[in-house]
Structure formats: C-alpha cells, structure tokens
A = this chain, B = another copy of it.
C-alpha cells in the first residue's frame, strides 16, 4: 500500500492507495474515532459492483453498516437528492460518532461529503473513490457540495475526510468514457506542476488505456501527491489552491450552459484547459508550440478540445460572471506559462469575448 499524508493540523488524514484493498476498510476504521452506525452511500451502478466487500468489511469490524443508494449521474447532485439523503441518514439514526462512507465517483463523494459536513453540524466521512477522476482529484481536499441551476457546486462546504481509501481494481469496470474524463485531471496536474508526468502520459497511452494496475497507481500517486501538497498549504483556497482550477473556469461554464448532461466534468475541463492555454498564448504567456503539445495530449486521450458550434458564447460568459472564482465582477484565470507551471491572472471580459469569437 502507498500512503500520502494531507497535513492539515487536527484535520490531517491519509490517502491510502492499493490494489484489492476494499475488504480491509473496516479494520482500518476501527482505529478511528468512529463507532456504531455507519452509512455506506453509493449509487445504483457502483454499489452492485463494490458494495458487498465494503459493507461486509465494516460489519466484520463490528460496525453497523447501512447502504444508502443514490441515482447515478451529475444531474442528481442536487438539493432534491440531498434532501432524500438527509431523510435516509436520519432514518438510520446516525449520531455524532457515526461516519458516512462515500463509495463511488465524484458525485457520490461530493454529495455524501456535504451531507456529512452538515449532518448534526458535521460528522466523520471516508472517501472510497471508484472513478479515476475521484481518485486523482475530488476525493482529496475536502471540497463538498451540490450543484444549482445557477452553477456547479454553488452550495457546499469545506469538510475534510478522515481517510481516502483508493483501490485501483475498481478502475477495471469503469466505462472508457469515464476513464478518459479522469485523464483530463491527470493531464491538468502535468500542466500545472509536473512536466515529467506530462511526458509520462505522452509515452504511456497504451498502458493507461489497458488500466494496468501499476501504471494507474503511479498516476494516482503523482496526482494525489501534488493535490495533497497544495491543499496542505491552502485548505480554503485563499491563494495557491486556485491553481487546481486550471481549465475549470471555462469548464464549469461549459457544464452549466449544457445543463450538466452533455459533457462529463473531465471532458468539460479538457475543453477549458485547451481554451485557457489558447488564452495564455494570446496574452503572450505561453508559446504556441506548447499549446499544440497540450492539444495533442488531450486529443490523444479522445477528449474534446473545442467548444461545439451550437454553444452560445455569451451564455458561457455570463455563466462565468457568476462563477465562484469571479471576484467583484473581475474574472481570474489560471494560465500556463509553460508545461509544469501556471500563474493566476485577471483577464478583461473584452479579451475573453475575442477568444470565443475567433
């Protein structure tokens, strides 16, 4: 097993990576300040595949474990489903010593994490991410929340998990489209912080697509290492952490104006990364050769790299104005200076409009 620490004082926790480790989670949770009833929150796709080893392991370790099954899809990361989740957790009778286990991808992790953050003013939760995107990104760092018609993750909380328990075996059943969407976030780490990782991805496409355990654990370890380091320095995104939003300002807007249904999160981020690289090039920050390297890697993983013609650019712009990253009307972007290094820069709306027009 590989262990990566997220250092946050009394909120510190470990990310544990391995292959075939789901059935060991109960034993590990026995050593945590958790007791009695636990809820295993999952969805209709993941629970039939991986619910049994988690629930059995919890029971073997002396916990009561209650499955709570949500519908599968980003469109269910909303207040209605959250309301039903609260009803279920209260029906089970979780108390302040209880834990919520989030078994699934980013949607399950975000909504179950937010329910844990706000159940009786906050109880423990553990992330068991089963998609690549959740394993390299959303399970780490304590961002929880739900979407609103007005924008993604508009309602949420910072609430750190007590443990992230990642099993690469769960990737074997992941639909290819989801695997590729997860790769968008891995590519992001390469661009913002790790030129070597970017190079590794260029050279190891086949091994990644075949989901070789060792290769996947390497990607997850590099990605989580970067994220853990950044989150440890800036838990609540007052500065540095914003670099993780590379590709996300435009990406979120793309998701919002298409109602969260047309693109997976990672696909929207891929579009956002390339457009933000182009924006960086326009502003003279990034060479066009590097823009093309970014385009090449994104496209080699079958990810979308441009905004489809039928999407209205003025809707994208107004969606970005409401984005959490909009501050007093100005728009801040994370822009690459070269592969492996980014900076945060305020960009005039005029400049953005030109980007979308051309």
**A interface residues (Cβ-Cβ under 8 A, vs B):** 35-36, 79, 83, 86-87, 90-91, 93, 95-97, 114, 117-122, 143, 145, 148, 150-151, 153-158, 236, 321-322, 324, 326-329
Decide: A90 near B148, CB < 8 A? Known: A327-B97, A328-B35.
yes
Instruction: Please indicate the chain B residues that have their CB under 8 angstroms from the CB of A87 in the complex.
Output: 148, 150
Additional pairs, 11, CB under 8 Å, beyond known A95-B328, A120-B154: A35-B328, A36-B328, A86-B148, A90-B151, A90-B322, A95-B326, A96-B324, A97-B328, A118-B118, A119-B155, A121-B143
Chain B: which residue is nearest A323 at the CB level? B95
Q: How far is the CA of A121 from the CA of B154 in the complex (A)?
A: 7
Q: List 5 A-B contacts (CB under 8 A).
A: A35-B328, A97-B327, A119-B154, A120-B154, A122-B236
Report yes or no: A324 in contact with B120, Cβ–Cβ below 8 A.
yes
Instruction: Please indicate the chain B residues that have their CB under 8 angstroms from the CB of A158 in the complex.
Output: 121-122
Decide: A95 near B148, CB < 8 A? Known: A83-B79, A121-B157, A156-B118.
no
Kindly provide the distance from the CB of A314 to the nearest chain B CB, expressed in whole angstroms. 17
Q: How far is the CA of A11 from the CA of B35 in the complex (A)?
A: 30
Instruction: Please indicate the chain B residues that have their CB under 8 angstroms from the CB of A155 in the complex.
Output: 86, 118-119
Q: How far is the CA of A143 from the CA of B122 in the complex (A)?
A: 11
Partner of A93, one of B36, B143, B322: B322
Kindly provide the distance from the CB of A151 to the nearest chain B CB, expressed in whole angstroms. 7
Instruction: Please indicate the chain B residues that have their CB under 8 angstroms from the CB of A150 in the complex.
Output: 87, 90-91
Instruction: Please indicate the chain B residues that have their CB under 8 angstroms from the CB of A154 in the complex.
Output: 86, 90, 119-120
Q: Assembly of this chain: how many copies?
A: 2
Instruction: Please indicate the chain B residues that have their CB under 8 angstroms from the CB of A93 in the complex.
Output: 321-322
Instruction: Please indicate the chain B residues that have their CB under 8 angstroms from the CB of A96 in the complex.
Output: 324, 327
Chain B: which residue is nearest A155 at the CB level? B118
Q: How far is the CA of A327 from the CA of B122 in the complex (A)?
A: 14
Chain B: which residue is nearest A151 at the CB level? B90
Decide: A121 near B97, CB < 8 A? Known: A79-B83, A328-B35.
no
Chain B: which residue is nearest A150 at the CB level? B90
Q: How far is the CA of A121 from the CA of B160 in the complex (A)?
A: 13
Partner of A157, one of B91, B95, B157: B157
Which of A121, A122, A326 has the largest number of chain B CB atoms within 10 A?
A: A121
Q: How far is the CA of A117 from the CA of B122 in the complex (A)?
A: 12
Kindly provide the distance from the CB of A86 to the nearest chain B CB, expressed in whole angstroms. 6
Kindly provide the distance from the CB of A61 to the nearest chain B CB, expressed in whole angstroms. 16
Report yes or no: B157 in contact with A117, Cβ–Cβ below 8 A.
yes
Kindly provide the distance from the CB of A68 to the nearest chain B CB, expressed in whole angstroms. 15
Report yes or no: B86 in contact with A157, Cβ–Cβ below 8 A.
no
Kindly provide the distance from the CB of A147 to the nearest chain B CB, expressed in whole angstroms. 11
Decide: A156 near B120, CB < 8 A? Known: A90-B150, A90-B151, A327-B97.
yes
Q: How far is the CA of A327 from the CA of B86 in the complex (A)?
A: 19
Instruction: Please indicate the chain B residues that have their CB under 8 angstroms from the CB of A326 in the complex.
Output: 95
Kindly provide the distance from the CB of A172 to the nearest chain B CB, expressed in whole angstroms. 33
Report yes or no: A118 in contact with B157, Cβ–Cβ below 8 A.
yes
